[in-house]
Amino acid sequence: MSAHGEGKTAGSGWTVSEIPSLAGRRALITGANSGIGYHAALELARKGAHVLMACRNKDKGDAALARLWDAVPGASAEVVLLDLASLESVCSFGAEQLLLGEPLDLLINNAGVMAPKKRQQTADGFEMQFGTNVLGHFVLTAVLLPALVRAAADGVERPRVVTLASIAHKQGRINFDDLLSAKSYGPMVAYRQSKLADLMFAFELDRRLRAAEPPICRVMSVAAHPGVANTNLFQVGEFSPVERVVRRGFGMAIGAWLSTEEQGALPTLFAATSPDVADGGYYGPQGLLEMRGGDVGPAKVAPQTLDQAAAARLWSECERLTGISLL
């Protein structure tokens, strides 16, 4: 059975100092130009990994890379352009990466869209949150799987896919009759569904990987959530001036009471690097209601996440909608 919340905790006050050397390993992080993605990239680079900072916007990516180099002179990192809201972009990017013939040791599916007020669509006509958070990462994982398998065959350490979920998944439901919110759109309803789908994807990927033949079965699938961190997810979007002030104020309150971006990145970094991580594990902060805390450990999983029949159906829907098969 998949471990989900099982396995060791990180121990009191797990910190980035416990990340082992990552010299010679390649890591790709989506949404690495800001927030949790940036801080994950920073710490992985600090430990010697070659970090591919996947971003939609070149200028923002270059600015983040310059910031990273200021913090870690000589770090091995580069910006790669990737738009998860375009399947053409994802597939082209994957093809370019595979042509390099390089292994990929770590794929962190981090980027996300949170609760735009009005229903928006991706380049392929999918609702923006489901299309980006779920389908974009589904296809990215599929097209980069050969590089992960190469790392599984060549490396001593097992490669990992880390998918970012959220405590919001607990209120989520998969509406198979309206996955893309075409009939009815609610910003948080769609967001919760996308984060539940991300977590179900991580668990279903784990099951399928472990059922596969070597070396595919050496690839790990795990998940993490940041708790509630003061990231730009709270402020980016089409909001009225009043809503922007409220969201900015909420972000300031979070910064004072809950987690910083650096703290929010700890569960991702733990899931990506700790030897204590189990196949199919799900990790998050251990503080109040899993919203914050200096410790990292197994996170709580909502019952609907464990519906394997629904997970298999969701997987099939992802394949049908994208035209891309994965395992």
pLDDT of 239 reads: 52
Catalytic residue among 38, 185, 191, 282: 191
User: What is the spatial distance between Cα 220 and Cα 209, in angstroms, rounded to a whole number?
Assistant: 7
Three-state DSSP class for residue 160: strand
Mean model confidence pLDDT for the chain: 90
Phi and psi, residue 41, nearest 5°: -60, -45
Token digits for 325? 């098969």
Asked whether residue 27 is domain-assigned, the answer is yes
Query: Residue 76's closest CA among 105, 111, 35?
Result: 105
For 133: left if phi > 0, alpha if psi spans -120 to 50, otherwise beta; the answer is: alpha
With cut-offs at 50, 70 and 90, classify the pLDDT of residue 155.
confident
Token digits for 16? 């980035």
Q: In what order do the strands lie in the sheet with 282-285?
A: 77-81, 50-55, 26-30, 106-109, 160-164, 220-224, 282-285, 296-298
Query: Residue 107's closest CA among 87, 136, 131, 130?
Result: 136
User: What is the spatial distance between Cα 151 and Cα 104, in angstroms, rounded to a whole number?
Assistant: 6
Cβ within 8 Å of residue 100, ≥6 positions away: none
Cβ atoms of 127 and 314 closer than 8 Å: no
Going from the C-alpha of 210 to that of each of 84, 183, 203, 214, the distances in angstroms are 27, 37, 11, 9
Token digits for 63? 């600015």
Range of the domain at 91: 16-319
Asked whether residue 211 is domain-assigned, the answer is yes
Q: Is 282 a catalytic residue?
A: no
Asked whether residue 7 is domain-assigned, the answer is no
Asked whether residue 324 is domain-assigned, the answer is no
Share of the chain above pLDDT 90, in %: 80
Number of Cβ atoms within 10 Å of the Cβ of 150: 18
Question: Tokens 């392929």 correspond to what residue?
Answer: 124
Phi and psi, residue 27, nearest 5°: -130, 135
The CATH code of the domain that includes 38 is 3.40.50.720
User: What is the spatial distance between Cα 317 and Cα 94, in angstroms, rounded to a whole number?
Assistant: 21
Asked whether residue 292 is domain-assigned, the answer is yes
Asked whether residue 11 is domain-assigned, the answer is no
DSSP state of 300: P
Asked whether residue 5 is domain-assigned, the answer is no
User: What is the spatial distance between Cα 302 and Cα 306, in angstroms, rounded to a whole number?
Assistant: 8
pLDDT digits (tens, 9 = 90+) for 233-283: 444 455 556 666 655 665 555 455 555 888 889 999 999 999 999 999 999
Let me know how long the chain is.
327
Specify the pTM.
Answer: 0.90
Give the helix/strand (H/E) hosting 319: helix 308-322
Three-state DSSP class for residue 29: strand
User: What is the spatial distance between Cα 35 and Cα 246, in angstroms, rounded to a whole number?
Assistant: 19
How far does CA 156 lie from the centroid of its chain? 24
Number of domains in the chain: 1
pLDDT digits (tens, 9 = 90+) for 30-64: 999 999 999 999 999 999 999 999 999 999 999 99
pLDDT of 290 reads: 60
For 85: left if phi > 0, alpha if psi spans -120 to 50, otherwise beta; the answer is: alpha
Asked whether residue 4 is domain-assigned, the answer is no
pLDDT of 9 reads: 44
pLDDT digits (tens, 9 = 90+) for 114-124: 999 999 999 99
CA dihedral 77, 94, 179, 193 (to 10 degrees): -20
Rg (CA), the chain: 18
pLDDT of 146 reads: 98
pLDDT of 286 reads: 84
Average pLDDT on 301-316 reads 98
Return the higher-pLDDT residue of 228 and 160.
160
Q: Does position 216 have pLDDT exceeding 80, yes or no?
A: yes
Q: Does position 318 have pLDDT exceeding 90, yes or no?
A: yes
Cβ atoms of 279 and 206 closer than 8 Å: yes
